[in-house]
Amino acid sequence: MWLFCIEKYKTFNYNLTFTRINPIELKSINSFLSVHFSCNFDLLIFKLKHQIMPGFELFGELERKELSDVLDNGILMRYGFDVKRKGHWKAKELEKELENQLMVKHAQLVSSGTAAVTIALAAAGIGAGDEVIMPTFTFVASFEAIMMLGAIPILVDIDDTLTLDIEATKNAITSKTKAIMPIHMCGSMANLDALKEICNANNLVLIEDSSQATGATYKGKPLGSIGDLGCLSLDFVKIITAGEGGAVLTNNEKFYKNADHFSDHGHDHVGNDRGAETHPFLGYNFRISELHAAVGLAQLRRLDEFVAIQKKNYSIIRDALSGIPEVTFRTVPEGGEESYSFLNFFLLDLNTARKVSSAFKENGIDACFHYYDNNWHYIRKWEHLKDLKTLYPLSSEVKKGLKYLQTKTYEKSDHYIGRNISCLIKLSWTEEDVIKRADKMVEIIKKTCSQ
């Protein structure tokens, strides 16, 4: 029956215009959905319609043209086949566009945002036994990338920026610390001036992960361009997407060459004969394809358009919520401007946030996340990390280095994440959609806070 429901869903066109369903079929579908999913067919369609996230919401002719260039050319690999590809180099074009738009000297495309973090760390010489400071609020890829190199993630508290707390970061530095890695979560940023000062004083590498904040700036500079290295994700649910992909950004020539070689089996990419290239050091395969790069190229050229739409939608909702005394907003460091891909606000306490989160879902306000109870983005539910559940043996250094997670508590992070709700800002909403959504959110929050 579930497959039958999905097939019926497919009778809707891309604008989800309703197509007639036989009344007998509809009764059967509604009975099934009521028992198994506590909804009817109309609510199912509403939910499916509203699961769209930024990036692929506005696919169009620009993306199709770039893809057609690759398919007509027939060369899907980013390296080699110089003659056959007839001058089409989508990955190279996208790297140049990234360098220009994000104001860096070098951009190296790779297969994912996770790969970008791993490569950035490796490019800076970070590996076995080294410690990398990161926040408790991020995506699991952050510690995965660190551990892939045999290094040790040192998780520290966040503050009301929802990124690294400065004092907690200072207190976490040891003789083994090699890097600080702020993750610019949900469209905004860490206090980068303070972190740069800490890194300079302690001879540490600053690695920005701006996967969730492409389009945001700090004191006039794009995020990802400020640290020694920057990392981007271009996966399916980012503000711009390549389907899958990532990028390493840097102004450091050595780090760039390391990233370039390491991401392609150690190839030095000198000359026009791939088979004759040398390998100065060991590398792995983190290449992006020309198909992915083609989509990313078209999307990057639309970044300003996407940010402008999100800013308009964000502002309508924020203005509406600003009149509620129980609501306060995430702190954006002085000189920072968000990408407006999320609106983050705090409520009075954990219990209120949970009630509001549940009420949002019950009343059709989708894509508002309460990360305290989330399995993927907050330390509280990362039992697989705390218990070191792996498919292969870990080194004794990593095991010893992560013992602190058995007893470590993060009261300050709990204080902020427990009260936070993070609402995705979509590109596909009409102004009428946004106003109705804002009004409904205000109604729900006020009702919940008054109980």
pLDDT of res. 42: 52
- Say if CB 414 and CB 365 are below 8 A apart: no
- Which of 443, 417, 425 is closest to 353 using CA atoms? 417
pLDDT of res. 31: 62
Q: Return the axis-axis angle of helices 303-321 and 431-450, rounded to nearest 10°.
A: 30
pTM for this entry: 0.88
Give the C-alpha distances (Å, rounded to integers) separating 298 from 50, 121, 293. Answer: 24, 28, 9
Q: Report phi then psi at 366, rounded to 5.
A: -85, 170
Beta strand 229-233 with 336-337 is unpaired
CA distance 385 to 157: 17
pLDDT of res. 402: 98
Instruction: Centre a 10 Å sphere on the Cβ of residue 397 and count the other Cβ atoms it contains.
Output: 15
Contacts of residue 245, Cβ cutoff 8 Å, sequence gap at least 6: 109, 110, 111, 112, 233, 234, 235, 288, 292, 293, 296
User: Chunked in runs of 10, what are the mean pLDDT values of the chain (451 residues)?
Assistant: 38 35 55 49 45 69 94 95 92 98 98 98 98 98 98 98 98 98 98 98 98 97 98 94 97 98 97 93 98 97 96 98 98 98 98 98 96 96 97 96 97 98 96 98 97 90
CA 214 from centroid of its chain's CA atoms:
9
CA distance 210 to 334: 18
Domains of the chain as residue ranges with CATH: 2-49 (no CATH), 61-300 (3.40.640.10), 303-450 (3.90.1150.10)
Question: Which residue carries 């390998």 as its tokens?
Answer: 279
- Say if CB 345 and CB 420 are below 8 A apart: yes
∠ CA 102-249-330, nearest 5°, is 65
Question: Which residue carries 């860490």 as its tokens?
Answer: 190
Q: What is the largest CA-CA distance in the chain?
A: 72
Beta strand 177-180 with 205-209 is parallel
pLDDT of res. 18: 32
Beta strand 420-424 with 342-346 is antiparallel
